[in-house]
Amino acid sequence: MKISDIMTEKNVVLGLKANSKRQLLQELASKAAELTGINERTIFDIVLERENLGSTGFGGGTALPHGRIPELDKVYGLFAKLNAPVDFEAVDNKPVDLVFLLLSPEGSGADHLTALAQISRILKDENTCEKLRHINNSEEIYAILNN
């Protein structure tokens, strides 16, 4: 599975504004609803439920919230670069400014895990994250995510 299988340049959000983790998840759910046609509240509730099990902020200013949505027909990815970092209860207690939301159909076990692994490799690469932080162009960010 490649990043291009789960997202396009339209799935890159720059300058997202949020003052809290909850507000960030609401903004992401709103953007994801536009892309998927799934109810925003449904997405938010499922992602928040997963987040309540343990933070998906895994350090270095990055987070990978995710969830399985029964109505989805395929895996969707959404990348957001925040205007200002927010507290995400990350494992290193650092605020988050790069977020990749992953939504998968309920029965997509292998595809979901494959996508999670690939995205986490990208977000754990410090050089890649530094590049992403210094670029304000959706096409260039998309290209880096696909590399």
Catalytic residues: 66
The sign of the CA dihedral 31, 36, 41, 44 is negative
- Contact yes or no for 28/96 (Cβ under 8 A): no
- Contact yes or no for 92/26 (Cβ under 8 A): no
- Contact yes or no for 92/59 (Cβ under 8 A): yes
End-to-end Cα, the chain, rounded Å: 13
